[in-house]
Amino acid sequence: MASHPVRVAEPYRGAARSALRFTRSVVTMQIPTGTAGAYVLLRYYPNDALPVYDGRSDTCLRRRLIRHPLRGLASRFLVAPTCNPEQAFAVESPWYHQYRSEGFPVMNRIHPASPAGTGRRCPFCPNGATARALDRTFPNPVPSISRSTP
C-alpha cells in the first residue's frame, strides 16, 4: 500500500491535531458534550494511516462519534472542535475535497450539506466562493483577433 501523508486543515481554537484512538472511552474523555466540529476517521496500517471518512456534527461531536457506524473499521480519529456549525462546515468541506483530489479511499457518499437554515455554499466547489475569487483574480484572457499579413 502506498504511503500518503495525511494533512488536515488547521483546527479552530488550538485543538489538538494528534490522531486519537477511536474508542468510546477516548471520545468521552476528549470531547465535551455539546461541542460542534468536524472530524476525520483514520485506519492505521503498518507505517501508514489513511483517512476513511470525514464528517461533522453541528450539535454534538461526542454523540456523533460514539454512535458512528465506522467505529469498528476506523481505529483513530482527528477532531477539530468549532464554535458553531458554520465553522464546522468550513473545516469539513476542504477535507472532503482534498481527500478526493488526492485519491484517498474515503467512504463518504455525498458532499457535505450546508448547516441547517444557512443556505451556505461550499467554497471549494466549482461555483463556490474560492472558485469565484480565483476567477476574479485570474480572469480568463479574451483571445484577441489578430490579422496576419501576407
CATH topology of domain 12-137: GIY-YIG endonuclease (3.40.1440)
Mean pLDDT of 96-125: 86
Domains of the chain, by residue range, sit at 12-137
Q: What is the pTM of this model?
A: 0.73
Percent helix, strand and coil across the chain, each to the nearest 5? 30, 20, 55
Q: 36-95: per-residue pLDDT in tens?
A: 999 999 998 777 788 999 999 999 999 999 999 998 899 999 999 999 999 999 999 989
Q: Which of 111, 80, 90 is nearest to 18 (CA)?
A: 80
| Percentage of the chain lying above the pLDDT 90 cut | 41
Q: How confident is the model at residue 142 (pLDDT cuts 50, 70, 90)?
A: very low
Q: Which of 79, 118, 112, 74 is nearest to 93 (CA)?
A: 112
Confidence check: pLDDT of 4 > 70: no
